[in-house]
């Protein structure tokens, strides 16, 4: 695990965005593992602005997670990715994948058949979750359905007119075992609220109370933070 520090989220986003552009430049058929949420947005913006003549038309993507039975279509993670990245590059949206309850094991198999994920982008929850793998998740979990915790529902209600009853109660997520198979992983944290989770992640062993700590022995993981997170 390598800790990489930046002054602000724009610089952190440029680091990750440029890394993705370079991977696609070197391998136009790269397989990208993508995340939603606020954290990766500066990286996606950077890609949109600095892609130059790099083509994403043969790139394949696998997103970390997706809501089940989402009441507001605009809040699905597929829509988020369309708005924040896919519509700004020349990717073929047929090559973009999101997990679904009908194909749980099939999602892991599809990733394997695509040759595995070259780079997995991760944000982190205040409680250390990655994807929707909440505290207590097993290290070898594959893609699975999760019931969202009360704290996640509360955190997400801002996207659902502040109405808890509109927030989906279940989602599908890549498991910790699925995530750990990625060849390279970049986990980003850019707000102070992530401090405790990042300290635990860097703790040097797998602590089930902080799912991200499962990355402690991964062969190529960058933990990218701003000064706000760790001085
Ligand atoms: C998103 C995801 C989540 C977020 C995490 C942090 O696909 O899987 O684990 O990365 O909740 O969210 P933000 O970036 O909004 O703080």
Residue-wise pLDDT for 65-92, tens only, equals: 999 999 999 999 999 999 999 999 999 9
Beta-carbon neighbour count of residue 227 at 10 Å? 12
End-to-end CA distance of the chain: 18
Give the residue carrying structure tokens 């893609």. 143
Catalytic residue among 9, 108, 118, 134: 134
Q: Whose CA is closest to atom 15 on ligand 1?
A: 37
On whether the CB atoms of residues 139 and 177 are closer than 8 A, the answer is yes
Is the predicted pLDDT of residue 228 greater than 90, yes or no? yes
Is the predicted pLDDT of residue 164 greater than 90, yes or no? yes
Give the whole-number percent of the chain exceeding pLDDT 90. Answer: 95
Mean model confidence pLDDT for the chain: 97
- Does ligand 1 come within 6 angstroms of the Cβ of 12? no
pTM confidence score? 0.97
Distance (angstroms) between ligand 1 centre and the Cα of 175 equals: 14
Nearest to 13 by CA among 225, 194, 227: 225
- Does ligand 1 come within 6 angstroms of the Cβ of 37? yes
Cα–Cα distance measured from residue 167 to residue 228, given in angstroms and rounded to the nearest whole number: 30
Task: Choose one of 40, 121, 124 to mutate for the ligand 1 pocket test, by most ligand atoms within 8 angstroms of C-beta.
Answer: 124
Give the residues across from 77 on adjacent strands. none
Tokens of 217: 């022995």
Is the predicted pLDDT of residue 152 greater than 90, yes or no? no
- Does ligand 1 come within 6 angstroms of the Cβ of 65? yes
Catalytic residue among 66, 97, 108, 129: 129
Distance (angstroms) between ligand 1 centre and the Cα of 16 equals: 16
Instruction: List b or e across 164-190, with b for residues whose CB sees 16 or more CB atoms inside 10 angstroms.
Output: eeebbeebbbbbbbbbbbbbbbbbbbb
Give the whole-number percent of the chain exceeding pLDDT 70. Answer: 100
Is the predicted pLDDT of residue 200 greater than 90, yes or no? yes
């Amino acid at each position: 695990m390598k800790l990489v520090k930046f002054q602000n989220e724009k610089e952190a986003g440029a680091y990750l965005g440029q890394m993705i552009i370079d991977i696609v430049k070197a391998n136009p058929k790269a397989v990208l593992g993508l995340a939603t949420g606020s954290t990766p947005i500066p990286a996606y913006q950077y890609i949109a602005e600095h892609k130059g003549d790099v083509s994403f038309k043969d790139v394949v993507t696998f997103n970390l997670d997706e809501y089940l039975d989402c009441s507001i279509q605009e809040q699905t993670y597929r829509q988020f990715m369309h708005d924040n990245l896919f519509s700004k590059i020349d990717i073929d949206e047929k090559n973009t994948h999101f997990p679904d309850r009908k194909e749980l094991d099939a999602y892991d198999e599809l990733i394997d058949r695509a040759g595995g994920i070259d780079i997995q982008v991760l944000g982190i929850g205040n409680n250390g979750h990655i994807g929707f793998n909440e505290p207590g998740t097993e290290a070898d979990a594959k893609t699975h359905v999760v019931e969202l915790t009360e704290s996640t529902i509360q955190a997400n209600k801002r996207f659902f007119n502040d109405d808890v009853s509109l927030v989906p109660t279940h989602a599908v997520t890549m498991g910790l075992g699925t995530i750990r198979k990625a060849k390279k992983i970049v986990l980003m944290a850019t707000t102070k609220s992530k401090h405790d989770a990042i300290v635990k992640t860097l703790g040097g062993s797998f602590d089930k109370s902080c799912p991200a700590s499962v990355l402690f022995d991964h062969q190529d993981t960058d933990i990218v933070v701003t000064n706000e997170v760790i001085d």
